[in-house]
A and B are shown apart, each in its own frame.
Chain A
Amino acid sequence: MRIHDSLIGVVLLALAAFAAYEAAGFPPMPGQRFGPSLVPNLLAAGFAICGLVLIASGLRCREVAGPVELGAWARKGGHVLDVGLVVGGLVLLILFWKPLGFLIGATLYTAVLAARFRGGRLASSFVVALLACFAIDWGFRRLLLVPLPQGPLTGLYW
């Protein structure tokens, strides 16, 4: 997804304005004339300058068609769904992290993505996903003591 330089410039200006606005609300440090707002303000100034440079250079060059130019992939319907699955699946995995647990959530996610990338073949994708995720779950939880949530499987196996 290509975004026109001028549009990025405008986004950077907005970012600068937001940072400066937020920083204005930070209290000064006791006994000093400056405080936690100093560095954010310096960064906001930097963003503003870069934003202006990008807007100027973007306007000078008119080769790009629109403000946002989607890559060739976006015109193939399938690829948009793929990106949606990768990102949306991850959002679901985060939302259901505790209730589902890592093993179940990650297995479903991997199985669905692998099946999708392989054009079907859900059963074999599921088996591979389950084995791989079980190995990851066991290794991280038992060997490396990372407390991955187990969801409904809690207490059934260690």
Chain B
Amino acid sequence: MRKTKGSPRHAWTRRTALLAAALGTLVFALANPASAAWPERPITLIVPWAAGGGTDATARIIAKLMEPDLGVPVNVVNRTGGSGVVGHSAIATAPPDGYTIGLITFEIGAMHWQGLTELNWTDYTPIALVNEDPAGVIVRSDSPYKSAKELLDAIRAAPKGKFKASGTAQGGSWHIALGGMLVAAGLPADHVQWVPSTGAATALQDMVAGGVDFVTCSVPEAKALIDAGKVRALALMGKERNATFPDVPTLEEATGIDFQLGAWRGLAGPKGLPEEVTDKLVPLAKKVYDSKEFQDFMASRGFATVYAPPQEFAAFMKARDESTGAVMKGLGLAK
């Protein structure tokens, strides 16, 4: 119960002021400790996607494998939402002191075209590209189209918007894959109507239920349904076939269209990471990438591994950024 006596209120405010002053002094005394060699405290690894997803799992295994060499904990922090905008911003705007890094993804080359953010690949210090999963073309098992060629021919013959496909949100990686494939086949990028979904699992479920004609997403994402005999993979938009699915041809083999697109993931820090940090992080990232644990883990999830050192990673992002922009203009998404 609150007691309301006459005087305590004055005493109370005075004592608060004293306490605040004392704490203030303490705060200043403790601020700015002398800097030692990086890293001397835990490192934060930001993931722009939700806990439990593929990007999150990749980040967590990388963090785990980096910890012993760095000697400090590497904490994976999920900053989700806004189709990746929030997390990518958090990485780019963090102080470039090496204590915040992130796992950036394909979307960094797409979001700015849509006008969702100003950020693009130049706002990061690339460390290493670690993975790229090529898009696949998936249809229902009872679909009349037995090959990617038959499907594309049918799309070509149909009026614009008759065919409907799904796989991600509007402007997401698998939407760009569809648009890019259509352009490479000599069609307008928006010839097939895109039905946005929250992810590949939702899109596949909707296709099995008869909602859309086909889905573009990575083949491992559809593995359980392929095993169940519910869906078929017609083609893979990669340079070569996937070892887990040797029967699925590449798009070039199936249709003669030379087009590749995949969703990639790479380690990066905010722009302007000091050399002291990159000199340690770049070789460490390579070591983690080469480790058996990492390769086994990625193989178990069906994720393809690709490595590129900082220079090549930057050139890769630049090239992807431009090609994605061209497709998004064709889709009517670019602002």
Contact = CB atoms under 8 A, between A and B. Distances in A.
Q: Do A and B come from one complex?
A: yes
A149 to B, nearest CB: 11
A102 B314 CA distance: 37
A122 B19 contact: yes
Contacts of A112: 16
A73 interface: no
B300 interface: no
Sort chain A's interface into a size bin: 20 to 34
Contact of B15 (A100, A122, A155): A122
Interface stretch (A13-21, A54-62, A113-121): A113-121
Interface of A: 29-31, 78, 100, 104, 108, 111-112, 115-120, 122, 126, 145, 147, 151-156, 158
A153 B3 CA distance: 36
Contact of A104 (B15, B23, B190, B331): B23
Interface in B1-47: 2-5, 8-9, 11-12, 15-16, 19-20, 23, 26-28, 30-31, 33, 40-42, 44
Given A31-B193, A31-B332, A126-B19, A147 B75 contact: yes
A147 B27 contact: no
B253 to A, nearest CB: 31
A155 B41 contact: yes
A40 B333 CA distance: 21
Contacts of B161: 31
A145 B75 contact: yes
A56 to B, nearest CB: 40
B30 A156 contact: yes
Contacts of A147: 44, 75, 77
A120 B33 contact: no
A117 B23 CA distance: 22
Given A119-B5, A158-B42, A151 B12 contact: no
A155 B332 contact: no
B333 A119 contact: no
A30 B44 contact: no
B185 to A, nearest CB: 18
Given A30-B333, A31-B332, A147-B44, A100 B27 contact: yes
A6 to B, nearest CB: 36
The 8 A-B pairs with the shortest beta carbon distances in the complex, nearest first, are A30-B332, A120-B8, A119-B3, A152-B30, A155-B41, A122-B15, A152-B27, A152-B31
